[in-house]
Structure 1
Amino acid sequence: MSTIASILSPALRRRRQITLLLLMAAGCVSYIDRAALSVSNTAVMADMHMSYTQMGLLLSVFAWAYLAGQVPTGLLADRFDSRFLLGAGLVLWSCAQMAFGLMHGIAGLFLARIGLGLGETPLFLSGTRALVRWYQPRERGRPLGLFNGSAALGPALAPPLLLAIMALWGWRGMSVAIGAASLVLAFVWIRFYRDPADLDLSVAMRKALPRSDAPVPASITQSLRADLGHLLRQRSSWVLTAGYAGVIYLTWLYATWMPAWLQTSRHLTIGQAGMLSALPQFCGFAGSVLGGVVVDRLAARGVGLLNACRAPLVLAMLVAAIATTLTTLHTPLAVMVAFMAIALFAGGLAISCGWMLGTVIAAEHRVATLQAIQNTGGSLGGALAPAITGLLADRFGSFTPSLLTAGAIGLGTVAIYQIGLRPEDVATHASLPNGQPPSRLSGTTGCNKE
């Protein structure tokens, strides 16, 4: 047990552990909801008479809606309690997922996916904000890694779970069922979660938790100028945004098209392809969890937090790009799946490390806003990956051009992070609103202590 955790009462330790578990459950369920269309897309295409291009657009519209909501939601996440903001998002995406199964026109399917994208927007922004409020900077690596890992665990659990539900109720019943499960989770979160500031704590325990950070500007205009405007003027914000677009492009290609890719390239049934795609997704979950552990270990050995996040990220994206390119070779199915597993393991590690960079570069009262900016890039990558893949598959009758494109984007991402980020980026915070500059650790740590 860490020194910080040992100061907390058993009840308080249990509360923050349950908070983390609920966030992991929400992350897992959110990606099961997202992956539902990926698992069932061939059935939906047959039922709704859709082409690969149309399905690619339907898969990508979620990400476009997710992108549109990022910055507004980031500003809200830095202003409002995670309890109700995340709870409202859970309710919205649950209703949208259930509505998807009830639609009988293509336009209705698009509207439901848009609702799903908007509803899921607060999850990782408000969830990260909650973890920042409950964990000190030097102990955030593992919880953030586990939280991000839930994004890969969901697609790993999705194929066997969703295929079993589809066998009973079809793709429509599957959508309604998982939407209802999400709604239950929404009420559990609203009922349980509390910000540390809302609890009656002793002085010692309050000191063991992150102190309440700077007051958030009272008006939207002040927020735009003091937070969003400041961050958009920082070069590092644009580096994180462009880099995360590449990370999510590569990993989201697998999340959206892997079952269909296996069906068409290896002539598997929908059940075989769905089950086989679970193994690489589990590897993605393992990589996401390991990302947080690696960052904590490197930081404990004296590596600055900037490099502790960037170095494993760069190496992981290089491996993911190479492994993705190798999947285009004419190899036995087992070898191809192994390349996919390596790519997703490395991609999962890169996602965790990339997400943690936002907590290193931004002041605590701007973490959600910076990560919203960063996730706008990620959403763009997530929107382009399925759409471009579908277009290229229709054009060339093969997924090979799409995979080569993703590999090239992965290599470009390596260059963005390696060249674009500099040691001084960790010291780019503006003064706190009360006029006092944030105290800083020595430059060798690469981290601001707010």
Structure 2
Amino acid sequence: MTRPTAPASIRRRQRSALIMLVIAGTLNYLDRSTLSIANPLIRNELGLSIADMGLLLSAFLWAYAFAQLPGGALVDRVGPHRLLAAGLGLWSIAQAVAGFVTSFWQFSIARVFLGLGEAPMFSSAVRVVRDWYNVRDRGLPTGTWNCTSSLGPAIAPPILTVLMIGFGWRWMFGIMGLAGVVVAATWFLLYRDPTEEHFTDEERHYLTDGEEPRSQAPVRLAEWLGLFRFRTTWGLVLGFFGVVYMGWLYLAWLPGYLEMQRHMSIPKTGLVAAVPFAFGVVGSIGGGWIADWLMRRGFSPVNSRKIPVIVGLLGMVGFTVVAAETPSDFMAVAAISAALMFGASASGMSWALASVAAPANCTASLGAIQNFGGYLGGALAPTVTGFIVQASGSFTPALLVSAAIGLFSALMYLVVIRAAPITVAELDAVAGVDTARPTVQGP
């Protein structure tokens, strides 16, 4: 089929939106990393055990996970323009407030609000790509904004370690909160949803060619509930559970692993911990390029995304086992780097899969439902890891448990997610809504 070319006006909107998503996503992961980087200092000052820190790390994740369910539907109804700006503002204020806490419970409350504020970030991003890119071109931009899940942690150790050593861990939280308020204001002033724009026929053709007509109506409760009646939805939920579990084990505990298991100093950890996440940037962008390449070679929109996810998960599993078993510090860091490269590809293409697996007006909803399943795994990973390490005195069994969960999730992607996307007619049928509702050929 002929591949439509984006008009210059659309390309400008794409570039500006993608740049802002990368900045916001990077900040998102910098803010998530602050607690991990300051782990030893916070434990000493507040008198927390390793298990307490695992629970504290998970406080953000439980709030983030459960906020996904309403958050995705709100993105589809309100639009990323307003909702992402509000979320950015909320999480940045919560981040700044964390610099003033004096107890475990105060810190837990701040982390809960951080999770609530960050909840719309990636469902907004997947909706932005669905709105502004043709179906054949969504893999690479999805991989690009998703690379922030590796870029943020890659630059977090050196940046946050410098701030922490120079100003103290409390000021580190405050500075990051102020930066987030600036990013929130920038997004609100510069980004526009497609419903706020007027399109020419050429622009509309590029945005919708290759897909069924889009519904004019925002997602309704019956449609949102109807998504749960499809096996693809459950495949995404169960599959993403393992992707995020494995990713969050490293995100939450890699600095602690290097210090406790590999006996590295805090300054050295700040440098070494950045290396594996830098490889994740390559994996996320590379996975997006491969997905678009597969679709241009005739693979379906779903399969062109599902294959990189499965390969990525299997690669992450294999290299995590190597990291668990090797006595060499160099080999452990190299294996973790490879694991995070494959894992970032799996993560990015899971989001790209959500962008083609359901009707356009349900994109953020399906992506958020998937992310809910993922962050149930993400919320368990720090706590389970903390208890395993405290009980065994080693990270090795925690890494092996993570690998087993990843293998299960790869199987879910392989056998549960069907090759065809959920259509408007199918969703209308299970939701019991009017199948004659109006549709349009443009956003």
Equivalent residue, structure 2, for 1:296: 292
State yes or no: 1:26 paired with 2:14.
Answer: no
Deviation larger for 278-287 or 308-317: 308-317
Equivalent residue, structure 2, for 1:237: 233
1:32-59 deviation per Cα after TM superposition (whole angstroms, max 9, x unaligned)? 0001111111111111111111000111
1:400-442 deviation per Cα after TM superposition (whole angstroms, max 9, x unaligned)? 1100100111111121111212324555842496625999xxx
The SS at the match of 1:422 is coil
Distance 1:362 1:281 in 2: 31
The SS at the match of 2:324 is coil
Equivalent residue, structure 1, for 2:90: 92
Amino acid at match of 1:69: A
Aligned match for 1:365, one of 361, 364, 380: 361
Distance 2:159 2:409 in 1: 33
Aligned match for 2:265, one of 265, 269, 284: 269
The 5 Å alignment of 1:112-127 reads 112-127=110-125
The answer to whether the Cα contact below 8 Å between 2:233 and 2:417 also exists between their aligned partners in 1 is: no
Distance 1:151 1:364 in 2: 24
Deviation larger for 304-313 or 276-285: 304-313
The answer to whether the Cα contact below 8 Å between 1:78 and 1:216 also exists between their aligned partners in 2 is: no
Distance 2:118 2:228 in 1: 24
Aligned match for 2:388, one of 380, 388, 392: 392
TM-score, L = length of structure 2:
0.93
Equivalent residue, structure 1, for 2:274: 278
Please list every run of 5 or more consecutive structure 2 residues that lacks an aligned counterpart in the other structure. Answer: none
Distance 1:136 1:188 in 2: 26
The answer to whether the Cα contact below 8 Å between 1:323 and 1:342 also exists between their aligned partners in 2 is: yes
The answer to whether the Cα contact below 8 Å between 2:231 and 2:418 also exists between their aligned partners in 1 is: no
The answer to whether the Cα contact below 8 Å between 2:150 and 2:277 also exists between their aligned partners in 1 is: yes
Shift in CA distance, 356/171, structure 1 to aligned 2, threshold 3 Å = same
- RMSD across aligned positions (CA): 2.1
What percentage of residue pairs aligned between the two structures are identical? 37
The answer to whether the Cα contact below 8 Å between 1:8 and 1:205 also exists between their aligned partners in 2 is: no
Distance 1:248 1:416 in 2: 14
Equivalent residue, structure 1, for 2:214: 213
The answer to whether the Cα contact below 8 Å between 1:97 and 1:179 also exists between their aligned partners in 2 is: yes
TM-score, L = length of structure 1:
0.92
The SS at the match of 1:237 is helix
Equivalent residue, structure 2, for 1:7: 7
1:130-169 deviation per Cα after TM superposition (whole angstroms, max 9, x unaligned)? 2211111111111111011111110001011001111111
1:284-311 deviation per Cα after TM superposition (whole angstroms, max 9, x unaligned)? 1111111111100000111122221111
Shift in CA distance, 395/98, structure 1 to aligned 2, threshold 3 Å = same
Displacement of 1:315 in angstroms is 1.5
Amino acid at match of 1:423: A
Equivalent residue, structure 2, for 1:259: 255
Distance 1:287 1:270 in 2: 27
Please list every run of 5 or more consecutive structure 1 residues that lacks an aligned counterpart in the other structure. Answer: 440-448
Distance 1:108 1:62 in 2: 13
Displacement of 1:206 in angstroms is 3.4
Displacement of 1:3 in angstroms is 6.2
Equivalent residue, structure 2, for 1:328: 324
State yes or no: 1:408 paired with 2:398.
Answer: no
Amino acid at match of 1:62: F
Displacement of 1:399 in angstroms is 0.9
The answer to whether the Cα contact below 8 Å between 1:133 and 1:196 also exists between their aligned partners in 2 is: yes
The answer to whether the Cα contact below 8 Å between 1:134 and 1:210 also exists between their aligned partners in 2 is: no
Amino acid at match of 1:367: T
